[in-house]
Each structure stands twice: as C-alpha cells, then as structure tokens.
C-alpha cells in the first residue's frame, strides 16, 4: 500500500468512526424523547388495569337504575299518547339516529394505523426523512388516542351521571304534567334517553376486556413506532455526517489543490513513462481531451 493509499484508508476510517458516533448520539437523543412520552403512558396503562373496572362497576349500577326509571316513564307515556303518534316519533327518531351514528366515531376500539418499519435500504436521505416524519405523525395520533382511552375512565362516569339525572328529571316532569299537556315531547326525550343508555353509547362499545386490550394494543404500537423512528433517525444522522464529511474534504482539497499536488508529487516515486501516453492530454484549455499546444522541440525532449 502506498502512502497515498494509506492516507485515504485512514481518512475513510476516521469518517466512518466519527459518523457512527454521530448516529449513536442521535439515536440516544430520540430514545430520550421517546422515553419522555412513553414512560408516563406505561404508568397509565398499568393503573388502568384496576382503574377502568373500578369505574365501570358503580357506573353500571347507576345506569341500571336510570334504565329502570326511563322504562317506567315510557310505559306511562304510552298510555297517554295515540299509537300512531308513537309510531311517527319512533320512525322519525330511527332516521335521525342513523344520521347521528353515521357521523359519529364507531363504537369500540378505533386505534389509528400502526405501520412501524425500521428497515433501512438504499433509500435517499429525503426518503428516510419522509418515513421518519410519517411515523412520528402516526406515533402522535396513537398517543392522542391513548389519552382518549385514559380519559374514558372518568368520562363514562360523567355520561352515566348525566343520563341518570336526565331520566329522573323527565320522570318528575311527566308525573307533574297537567292533563291537557302535550306528551309527545316527553315521549321523544324518553326515546333518546333509551338510546343513550345503550352499551354502544354509554360504554362507547367497550367491555372491560376489550377496553384493556385496546389500551395494550395502542401502547404496543406506540413503542414500535418510536423504536423505528429511533433507528431511522440514527441512520439519517450517520449518512448526513458521511455526506458532509465528503463534501468538506472535497472543498478542502480543491482549496489547497496546488499544495496537495506538490505534496503527493514529492511522495510519489519517479516512474519512467514507457507507454507513450501524453500526461497533458485532457488538460488543454478547451477541456476537449486534446493535448495543449507546445513547441515541437519541447515535445521531442519529452
């Protein structure tokens, strides 16, 4: 190996080592960012195992009481309202209910997409950066949904309390209604209350088991998204470092081209040219691969 070759190998080794360190540093930075998000979520996930069932049990009792009250109210109203009017209310409400449900999120687990992929091919830096940006977006969406699931532990109690209060209030109004009062509005309220007391509305379509499964799956997806973001971010930092180092090296060589030429000239053993090749070919001012013009006697001496 020549001195020049040794120098090139040493330079390449230094760049590789320095850039590997840069990649590791970037991965460490992203890992710290991910830990700041995932660690509190881990705690919430563990707490939910006890918190959600603990919230559901008393809420279910209140919901059962509200159902009993509302069914009694409906029974009283049916006795005082013409059947044709009842059917009309039910028909109109059925159509309206479909509109509401169509515009609302479906019940049950609605976890956002999870497309974590930490594979690294021969993609460009721009392509890798695009993948990282997209997975960060997915991780954020998952985190937002996780927060919604955690909030459900208190939201279900609020929904049950509200529907029980409304059922009690309606029952009192019906009992205190005058003989000539229009009962159709009361009947409409009772039908809506009955819908609000359905599991799809009251519990958002969750059983205790399906809720905890959804929470676990969302957390698992978040971890995988952040793991992929960490790996790819490190790869990007390493590749950017290599590209920057090469650019800086090229700029340095260009700026000191004369000094570098002389340095290598002095370090290169003299070799007699026996091939007849003209070393000046390609160095003509036109850059057309032709030798620069020179006197014939100089050419003979070369």
The model's pLDDT over 85-116, given as tens digits with 9 standing for 90+, comes to 999 999 999 999 999 999 999 999 999 989 89
Is 27:230 a contact under the CB 8 Å cutoff? yes
- Is residue 276 pLDDT above 60, yes or no? no
Looking up tokens 């515009």 gives 103
What mean pLDDT comes out for the span 131-158?
96
**Confidence band for 57, pLDDT divided at 50, 70 and 90:** very high
Q: What is the pTM of this model?
A: 0.75
Helix boundaries (H) for 81-124:
83-103
- 152 Cβ contact partners less than 8 Å away, ≥ 6 residues apart: 52, 204, 206, 211
- Is residue 160 pLDDT above 70, yes or no? yes
3-class SS at 105?
coil
Is 162:65 a contact under the CB 8 Å cutoff? no
Task: Count other C-beta atoms under 10 Å from residue 96's C-beta.
Answer: 12
- Distance between CA atoms of residues 98 and 18, nearest Å: 62
> Packing angle between helix 184-196 and helix 3-80, nearest 10 degrees?
140
- Is residue 242 pLDDT above 50, yes or no? yes
- Joined tokens for residue 265: 């000239």
- Is residue 49 pLDDT above 70, yes or no? yes
- Is residue 301 pLDDT above 60, yes or no? no
Residue in 208, 196, 41, 227 with CA at minimum distance from that of residue 119:
227
Tell me how far apart the 2 most distant CA atoms of the chain are, in Å: 131
**Confidence band for 130, pLDDT divided at 50, 70 and 90:** very high
- Joined tokens for residue 202: 């009251």
Contacts for 15-22: CB closer than 8 Å, 24+ residues apart: 15/241, 15/242, 15/245, 15/246, 15/249, 16/242, 18/241, 18/245, 19/238, 19/239, 19/241, 19/242, 19/245, 20/238, 22/237, 22/238, 22/240, 22/241
Is 235:23 a contact under the CB 8 Å cutoff? yes
3-class SS at 256?
coil
- Distance between CA atoms of residues 64 and 41, nearest Å: 32
- Is residue 122 pLDDT above 90, yes or no? no
């Amino acid at each position: 190996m020549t001195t020049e070759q040794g120098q090139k190998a040493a330079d390449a080794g230094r760049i590789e080592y320095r850039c590997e360190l840069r990649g590791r540093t970037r991965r460490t930075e992203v890992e710290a960012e991910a830990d700041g998000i995932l660690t509190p979520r881990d705690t919430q996930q563990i707490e939910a195992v006890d918190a959600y069932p603990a919230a559901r049990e008393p809420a279910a009792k209140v919901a059962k009481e509200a159902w009993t009250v509302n069914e009694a109210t409906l029974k009283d109203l049916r006795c005082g309202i013409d059947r044709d009017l009842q059917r009309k209310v039910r028909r109109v409400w059925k159509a309206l209910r479909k509109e509401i449900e169509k515009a609302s999120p479906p019940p049950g687990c609605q976890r956002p997409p999870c497309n974590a992929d930490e594979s690294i091919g021969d993609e460009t830096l721009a392509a890798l950066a695009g993948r990282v940006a997209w997975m960060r977006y997915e991780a954020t969406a998952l985190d937002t949904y996780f927060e919604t699931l955690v909030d459900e532990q208190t939201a279900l109690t609020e929904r049950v309390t509200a529907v029980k209060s409304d059922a009690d209030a309606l029952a009192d109004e019906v009992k205190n209604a005058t003989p000539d009062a229009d009962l159709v509005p009361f009947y409409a309220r009772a039908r809506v209350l009955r819908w609000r007391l359905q599991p799809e509305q009251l519990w958002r379509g969750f059983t205790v088991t399906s809720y905890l499964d959804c929470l676990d799956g969302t957390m698992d997806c978040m971890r995988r998204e952040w793991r992929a973001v960490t790996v790819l971010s490190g790869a990007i930092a390493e590749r950017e470092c290599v590209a920057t180092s090469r650019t800086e090296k090229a700029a340095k060589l260009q700026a000191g081209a004369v000094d570098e030429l002389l340095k290598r000239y002095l370090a290169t053993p003299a070799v007699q040219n026996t091939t007849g090749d003209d070393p000046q070919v390609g160095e003509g001012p036109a850059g057309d691969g032709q030798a620069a013009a020179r006197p014939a006697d100089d050419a003979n001496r070369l």
